[in-house]
Amino acid sequence: MEKDRLVLIKNVSKEFDGVEVLSNINLYIKRNEFVTLLGPSGCGKTTLLRLLGGFEAPTSGDILFEGKSIVDVPPYKRRLNTVFQRYALFPHYDVFDNVAFGLKIKKLPKDEIKKKVGEKLALVGLSGYEKRSVDTLSGGQMQRVAIARALVNEPELLLLDEPLGALDLKFRKEMQLELKRMQKQLGITFVYVTHDQEEALSMSDTIAVMDSGRILQIGTPQDIYNEPINSFVADFIGESNIIPGIMKEDYLVHFSDKDFRCVDRGYNNDDPIMVVVRPEDVKLVPPTENTINGVVTSIVFMGVHYEIRLVDDRGFEWLIQSIHSADVGSRLGIHLEPDDIHIMDRSQYDSIG
Amino acid sequence: MNKRKYIAAPYLVWMVIFTVIPLLLILFYAFITRAESGALILTDKYIKSALSGSSMSVLLLSMEYALITTVLCLLLAYPAALFLWQLKSRIGSIVNLLFMLPMWMNFLLRTYAWRAILDSNGPLNKLLQTLGLGSHRMLYTEGAVLFGLVYNFLPFMLLPIYTSFTKIDNSLVQAAEDLGANRWQTLLRVVFPLTKPGIITGITMVFMPAVSTFVISRLLGGSQTMMFGDLLENNFMLLKDWNTGSALAIVMMIMMLLSMALVRKSDDDLIPGGG
């Protein structure tokens, strides 16, 4: 167990001018794992990445790399490389010299440098671009050069700081798949920072959801999507309906004036909780006594599905994704299976009592 | 109709009156002479005398002084700019201001002040005597002229270099460190190439005026050192020989254009391109 751990972050806190931006972070990163730090801007995810890269030092706590503390190791001695947010390509070098930078520092023989740079440029699909000046490249090409420049050093760990942030949507999807492919092919551990939940869900082995300098939840994409620990995580990872409720007993929850069977247990009877229902899990049926009933207020065609808004009799607006259309103004019922109901503790994120 | 081009009109008028017309006048005085008949004819006699051995040796000396001044300024300014850049931005701008402060005072006044300081009975010699190091002649030496040149032109080297430092994107420095470059390698392979435009500007702003300066050499060098600027001034003001003066000015302009072209050319060659 311990042996697979490439990086161990222990009780790390970081302050800037007395303001705490990271508080008591604990996280381990396994070898060959794709870990994503996910959170809104200002949550501390980039600072955590910079601590790993060595550009900042933690105020307290320790960071171990293969069991040894690297807190005092300068960036140039760390066996990791970074893909910077805005690429940070050297404007005075061409593509070849940018990618070759790390190898020239290591004073590798010329023909070996040439071979390795050629390989990595082929990997990112930029063969033949060696002599191009970097400011003639498109955003996507610059991104690829930045990735090749990092990978050519064969790092144990690759840090990526919102690498796809500046690319347009279609290209981003392509690069997501490519990055995942490269990670598998090269067997390198990735730590990936993003605020895009879709990106996090589709690429990661493990996601750490962060907010206000804390890690709120660590888990697989499935864990985090299906069992968010609180309403912040639920809301951040995809859209959801979050309703206050009461846990009546094991497997029985009360919300929206009705009792529902659920799959959760272990709460005290009558504990106040929050219920999360994903929009795609809601089934619309003709209204009955056992369904939550309301009126459809809007419907938008999204391509794969319709996005329907329904205001129930208590005034709560449900977001529903359905492949079936519905008429605005029609009265419908909401049917939920026990599996579709996710129970979370109430936390500081829930303002509703 | 593009009305915006009229915004440049005042500057254009200024340029024509104070740059273009004087340049034409210089050309006129240098190449046109009045024949005995009274007609204006083309001549090369002024250029020939401007290219005479004695004035050429003055020009060479001036260029030598200007070159030494430029090199000294660069050697002093580059590490200083590097130091300023590494300070926190607020402290950096304060220290930068301190460097620039002397420029707020007219350079003639400052040069006169140095005359007093370097004088045989000046405070510096008094200090040396008190320390038992004896009195030295400092004023009216080559050293004094060079010192005055460096002192006066240093800010013109420092400012453009410091500006080019502040323009460096910090993530480039971090990228270099991330790729395994230590401080020295980062300086050599990333920081230095990126500050090269500032160095070129600095060289231009020091070398050009240093070649043609005349007050500094006269005040601090006396009659010992005649620089090309002095020669020019003598021709116009003392000898009232505007023709030879104009020819000398043309020779100097061509020399400066050539040396600047040389600087730009060597810059192109120095930029690391292929691997």
CATH number of the structural domain spanning residue A263: 2.40.50
Q: Is the domain of B6 the same as that of B88?
A: no
- Which of A77, A79, A84 would you mutate first to test chain B, the one with the most B CBs within 10 A? A84
Sign of CA dihedral B14, B16, B21, B27: positive
Contact call for B178 and A53, based on CB within 8 A: yes
In a domain, A207, yes or no: yes
Angle at B202 between CA B199 and CA B207, to 5 degrees: 120
What CATH number is attached to the domain comprising A330? 2.40.50.140
Q: Is the domain of B24 the same as that of B98?
A: no
In a domain, A156, yes or no: yes
Are B162 and B78 in contact by the 8 Å Cβ rule? The answer is no
Which residue blocks in chain B are alpha helix, DSSP H? 9-15, 21-31, 45-50, 53-86, 89-100, 107-118, 123-130, 142-166, 170-178, 183-186, 192-212, 215-221, 228-233, 242-270
CB-based contact (8 Å) between B182 and chain A? yes
Contact call for A76 and B181, based on CB within 8 A: yes
Total structural domains within chain B: 2
In a domain, A42, yes or no: yes
What CATH number is attached to the domain comprising B183? 1.10.3720.10
Total structural domains within chain A: 3
Question: What pLDDT does residue B274 have?
Answer: 35
For residue B9, give its domain range.
1-43
Model confidence band, residue B91 (pLDDT cutoffs 50, 70, 90): confident
Chain B neighbors of A106, CB-CB under 8 A: 180
Q: Is the domain of A253 the same as that of A222?
A: no
pTM, full prediction: 0.80
Q: Is the domain of B110 the same as that of B33?
A: no
Q: Is the domain of A57 the same as that of A145?
A: yes
Q: Count CB neighbours of B70 within 10 A.
A: 25
Q: Is the domain of B37 the same as that of B73?
A: no
Q: Is the domain of A85 the same as that of A188?
A: yes
In a domain, A235, yes or no: no
Contact call for B175 and A97, based on CB within 8 A: no
Residue A197 CB partners (closer than 8 Å, separation 6+)? A38, A236, A237, A238
Closest CA to A94 of A125, A122, A129: A129
Give the separation between CA B77 and CA B206, rounded to whole angstroms: 12
Q: Answer whether residue B269 shows pLDDT above 70.
A: no
What CATH number is attached to the domain comprising A222? 3.40.50.300
Question: What pLDDT does residue B196 have?
Answer: 93
Contact call for A101 and B272, based on CB within 8 A: no
In a domain, A234, yes or no: no
Are A350 and A245 in contact by the 8 Å Cβ rule? The answer is no
Token output for B123 = 């405070």
Q: Is the domain of A179 the same as that of A256?
A: no
Q: CA of B195: which chain A residue's CA is closest?
A: A92
Final residue of a structural domain among A226, A259, A291: A226
| CA–CA distances in Å: residue B128 to residues A125, A212, B113, B122 | 71, 64, 18, 10
Minimum distance, in Å, between the CA of residue A217 and any CA atom of chain B: 29
Q: Is the domain of B90 the same as that of B16?
A: no
Give the separation between CA A132 and CA A98, rounded to whole angstroms: 11
Give the separation between CA A86 and CA A102, rounded to whole angstroms: 19
Q: Is the domain of B187 the same as that of B226?
A: yes
CB-based contact (8 Å) between B188 and chain A? no
Tell me the one-letter amino acid at B133.
L
* Residues in a beta bridge with A14: A22
| CA–CA distances in Å: residue A23 to residues A15, A17, B226 | 9, 14, 70
**pLDDT tens-digit map of B95-133:** 888 888 888 888 888 889 889 998 888 888 888 888 888
Question: What pLDDT does residue A348 have?
Answer: 58
Q: Is the domain of A273 the same as that of A210?
A: no
In a domain, A117, yes or no: yes
Are B190 and B174 in contact by the 8 Å Cβ rule? The answer is no
Query: Please, which contacts does B104-112 make with residues 24 or more away whose CB atoms are closer than 8 Å?
Result: B107/B152, B108/B215, B110/B151, B110/B152, B111/B148, B111/B152, B111/B215, B111/B216, B111/B219, B111/B220, B112/B219
Token output for B43 = 């001549």
- Tens-of-pLDDT digits for all 353 residues of chain A? 566 789 999 999 999 988 999 999 999 999 999 999 999 998 999 999 999 999 999 999 999 999 999 999 999 999 999 999 889 999 999 999 999 999 999 999 999 999 999 999 998 889 999 999 999 999 889 999 999 999 999 999 999 999 888 788 888 888 898 899 989 988 999 999 999 998 999 999 999 999 999 999 999 999 998 888 888 888 888 888 989 999 998 999 999 989 999 998 888 888 888 898 999 999 999 999 889 999 999 999 988 899 999 999 999 999 999 999 999 999 999 999 999 998 888 765 655 43
Closest CA to A295 of A317, A273, A279: A317
Beta pairing, strands A34-38 & A189-194: parallel
Q: Is the domain of B14 the same as that of B75?
A: no
Chain A neighbors of B171, CB-CB under 8 A: 84-86, 88
In a domain, B32, yes or no: yes
Give the separation between CA A228 and CA A226, rounded to whole angstroms: 6
In a domain, B275, yes or no: no
Minimum distance, in Å, between the CA of residue B270 and any CA atom of chain A: 11
Tell me the one-letter amino acid at A335.
H
Token output for A166 = 């500046």
Mean pLDDT of B71-79: 96
CB-based contact (8 Å) between B193 and chain A? yes
Question: What pLDDT does residue A79 have?
Answer: 92
In a domain, B20, yes or no: yes
Contact call for B182 and A84, based on CB within 8 A: no
Q: To the nearest 5 percent, what fractions of chain A are helix, strand and coil? A: 30, 35, 35
Q: Answer whether residue B168 shows pLDDT above 50.
A: yes
Contact call for A76 and B189, based on CB within 8 A: no
In a domain, B213, yes or no: yes
Closest CA to A68 of A7, A129, A130: A7
DSSP assigned state of A267: S
Q: Is the domain of B200 the same as that of B88?
A: yes
Option in B169, B194, B275 nearest A97 (CB): B275
HSE, side-chain direction, 13 A CA sphere, residue A150: 34
Percent of chain A's residues with pLDDT above 70? 97
Model confidence band, residue B275 (pLDDT cutoffs 50, 70, 90): very low
Residue A347 CA to its chain's centroid (Å): 21
Give the separation between CA B202 and CA B164, rounded to whole angstroms: 10
Question: What pLDDT does residue A40 have?
Answer: 93
Give the separation between CA A32 and CA B26, rounded to whole angstroms: 76
Q: Is the domain of B11 the same as that of B129?
A: no
* Residues in a beta bridge with A320: A308
Q: Is the domain of B32 the same as that of B116?
A: no
Q: Is the domain of A81 the same as that of A205?
A: yes
In a domain, A109, yes or no: yes
Option in B169, B177, B190 nearest A76 (CB): B177
Provide the Cα torsion A119, A124, A129, A130; round to 10°. -40
Identify residues of A whose CB sits under 8 angstroms from chain B CBs.
53-55, 74-77, 81-82, 84-86, 88-94, 96-97, 100-102, 104-106, 110, 113-114, 131, 149-150, 153
Chain B neighbors of A54, CB-CB under 8 A: 177
For residue A289, give its domain range.
283-335
Q: Is the domain of A161 the same as that of A33?
A: yes
Question: What pLDDT does residue B272 have?
Answer: 47
Q: Is the domain of A71 the same as that of A159?
A: yes
Are A35 and A205 in contact by the 8 Å Cβ rule? The answer is yes
Give the separation between CA B50 and CA B227, rounded to whole angstroms: 14
Q: Answer whether residue B62 shows pLDDT above 80.
A: yes
Q: Is the domain of B126 the same as that of B184?
A: yes
Q: Is the domain of A271 the same as that of A215?
A: no
Contact call for B275 and A100, based on CB within 8 A: yes
Q: Is the domain of A276 the same as that of A288?
A: no
Residue A323 CB partners (closer than 8 Å, separation 6+)? A304, A305, A306
DSSP assigned state of A347: -
Contact call for B179 and A94, based on CB within 8 A: no
Are A326 and A332 in contact by the 8 Å Cβ rule? The answer is yes
Q: Is the domain of A276 the same as that of A321?
A: no
Which residue blocks in chain A are alpha helix, DSSP H? 45-53, 95-105, 110-123, 139-151, 169-186, 197-203, 221-226, 231-236
- Which of B168, B178, B196 would you mutate first to test chain A, the one with the most A CBs within 10 A? B178
Question: What pLDDT does residue A2 have?
Answer: 61
Nearest 5°: phi and psi at B169?
-70, 120
Nearest 5°: phi and psi at A222?
-60, -50
Minimum distance, in Å, between the CA of residue A82 and any CA atom of chain B: 7
Q: Is the domain of A72 the same as that of A215?
A: yes
Are A161 and A84 in contact by the 8 Å Cβ rule? The answer is yes
**pLDDT tens-digit map of A120-166:** 999 888 999 999 999 999 988 999 999 999 999 999 999 999 988 87
Which residue blocks in A106-194 are alpha helix, DSSP H? 110-123, 139-151, 169-186
Minimum distance, in Å, between the CA of residue A107 and any CA atom of chain B: 11
Option in A92, A104, A131 nearest B193 (CB): A92
Q: Is the domain of B203 the same as that of B261?
A: yes
Q: Which of B116-130, B192-206, B218-232 has the highest mean pLDDT?
A: B192-206
Are A52 and A7 in contact by the 8 Å Cβ rule? The answer is yes
Angle at A222 between CA A221 and CA A228, to 5 degrees: 85
* Residue with the two structure tokens 């909780």: A273
In a domain, B262, yes or no: yes
- ipTM score of the complex? 0.81
In a domain, A307, yes or no: yes
**pLDDT tens-digit map of B1-24:** 566 778 888 999 999 999 999 999
Q: Answer whether residue B202 shows pLDDT above 90.
A: yes
